[in-house]
Amino acid sequence: MSVEQVREFNSEQISEETFDKNTSMDEFHTKAHFWGRLTTWAVIALTVFLPIYLSFGLGYHPGWIVILNALAAYAGVIAVVWVLEPIMYFPILGVSGTYISFLTGNISNMCLPSAAAAQNAVGAEPGTEKGELTATLGIGAASLVNKVILIPIIIGGSVVIANIPQQLEGIFPLVLPAIFGAVLLQFAMKKPTYGGIALVIGLVVNLISMPVYLRNLICIVLVVLICIQLEKMKEKKQTQQ
């Protein structure tokens, strides 16, 4: 077999492996979308069933004006997150991880750190196929552990809460910022410059007086735009050299 035939054979083999890999991921995403949509809509139906039953089955309907006013007040603060969170978390969670996370809840304080820790443990880059599969496994394991721990805590929750010292209660508001700080440091170690930019912008935006729901959006947009411009400048310098 000549050298050209060997190269041709190797290229064909690589293309077949790539095709099989892409096909398997496409099938994985198709099944993820099917089961993700099915379970999400099932949970939505179950969630809506209770207020409908209380309103029209038992006659406790408060009136549409009260409901719409409450929805408007809540949406005015949190509506931007409905669009922002899927965009923010998708690069790390992937398709299947996004479905599991939004179905399970506790995205910022459980699912996202679990996915990031799992990816870091196996050396998987976020946004890659390996990263997505790793995030899915990490989130799934964290969700199962969470449920195993949460069920007995819910059952005996009143006893636990009644016996928590007051000194510990003051720590609870600091738990979520600590988790975000740990996740930021984990990713900032890979690219310290971008981590420093994100930290500075986050501090500046939070010191400026503005609506709460705009802070996350402004931070994300500014950090992404600045980092993209820095990458373009690096590429331009490399091409000039």
- 160-217 pLDDT, tens digit each: 777 777 777 777 778 777 877 877 777 777 778 888 888 888 888 888 887 766 777 7
The pLDDT assigned to 37 comes to 93
The pLDDT assigned to 21 comes to 57
Torsion of CA 74, 76, 77, 80, to 10 degrees: 110
| Residue in the structure block whose two tokens are 């309907």 | 61
Spell out the residues 6+ positions from residue 140 whose beta carbon is closer than 8 angstroms to its own.
Answer: 100
Global confidence as pTM = 0.62
Distance, in Å, from the CA atom of 101 to the CA atom of 92, rounded to the nearest integer, reads 11
| Domain coordinates in residue numbering, the chain | 3-172, 191-241
Distance, in Å, from the CA atom of 231 to the CA atom of 194, rounded to the nearest integer, reads 10
Residue 174 DSSP symbol: G
Please list the ranges in the chain whose pLDDT falls under 50: 1-3, 5-16, 19
The pLDDT assigned to 19 comes to 45
Q: Which long-range contacts (C-beta less than 8 Å, at least 24 apart) are formed by 181-186? A: 182/113, 183/112, 183/113, 183/116, 186/116, 186/117, 186/120
